[in-house]
């Protein structure tokens, strides 16, 4: 495992649309392990592969220290409600602003072996899922701030 360098806003790679993962191998598992280590090192609650320079549809979400969701090719298949929470991003150090998100999301994704699963989230956890999945389409929370 290794701590990877986090790419910061201003680098055009963060605006790219990540490609689907089609190969579920040891390299993917290694990347996931590095992403978890990097996120924890930076005290983050989520991280997308593009933030470490890998343009693949992979992100992790960790609403608390004991839980890490590994999402490969995630899609939001249902959402409802709205909420406004302050967000930050490891790629935009120091920035924090209110963002409007759904209050509930249902996410379909694959695990590291390619098996499909569905996870539901409410409240702040839903915000993290939305924030990380946005990264896979080149969207940053600063694009969605409310005043
Ligand atoms: Co972010």
Residue 1: pLDDT above 90? no
pTM, 2 dp: 0.97
Cα 11 to Cα 64: distance, rounded to the nearest angstrom: 29
Residue pair 60/68 in contact by the 8 Å Cβ criterion: yes
**Confidence band of 28 (pLDDT split at 50, 70, 90):** very high
Q: Give Dmax (Cα) for the chain.
A: 44
The answer on pLDDT for 147 being more than 80 is: no
How far is the centre of ligand 1, averaged over its atoms, from the C-alpha of 93 (Å)?
A: 10
Give the pair of three-digit tokens for residue 49: 């592969």
Beta-sheet strands, E only, within 102-138: 104-110, 116-122
Mean pLDDT of 114-139: 98
| Distance between Cα 47 and ligand 1 center (Å) | 6
On whether the CB atoms of residues 136 and 48 are closer than 8 A, the answer is yes
Measured in Å, residue 111 CA sits from the centre of ligand 1 at: 21
Please say whether the beta carbons of 97 and 73 come within 8 A. no
Catalytic residue among 8, 16, 116, 132: 132
pLDDT tens-place string over residues 71-106: 999 999 999 999 999 999 999 999 999 999 999 999
Summarised one tens digit per residue, pLDDT across range 54-76 is 999 999 999 998 999 999 999 99
Q: Is the pLDDT of residue 47 over 90?
A: yes
Q: How far is the CA of 132 from the centre of ligand 1 (A)?
A: 6
Active site residue 116: no
Mean pLDDT in residue range 30-55? 97
């Amino acid at each position: 495992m290794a701590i990877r360098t986090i790419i910061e806003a201003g680098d055009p790679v963060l605006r790219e649309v990540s490609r689907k993962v089609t190969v579920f191998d040891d390299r993917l598992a290694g990347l996931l392990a590095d992403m978890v280590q990097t996120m924890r090192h930076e005290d983050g609650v989520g991280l997308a592969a593009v933030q470490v320079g890998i343009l693949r549809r992979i992100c992790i979400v960790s609403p608390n220290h004991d839980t890490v969701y590994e999402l490969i090719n995630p899609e939001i298949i249902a959402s409802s409600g709205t909420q406004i929470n302050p967000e930050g991003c490891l790629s935009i150090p120091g920035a924090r602003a209110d963002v409007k998100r759904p209050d509930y999301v249902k996410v379909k994704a694959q695990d590291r072996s390619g098996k499909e699963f569905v996870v539901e989230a409410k409240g702040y956890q839903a915000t993290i899922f939305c924030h990380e999945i946005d990264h896979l389409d080149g969207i940053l929370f600063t694009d969605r701030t409310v005043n």
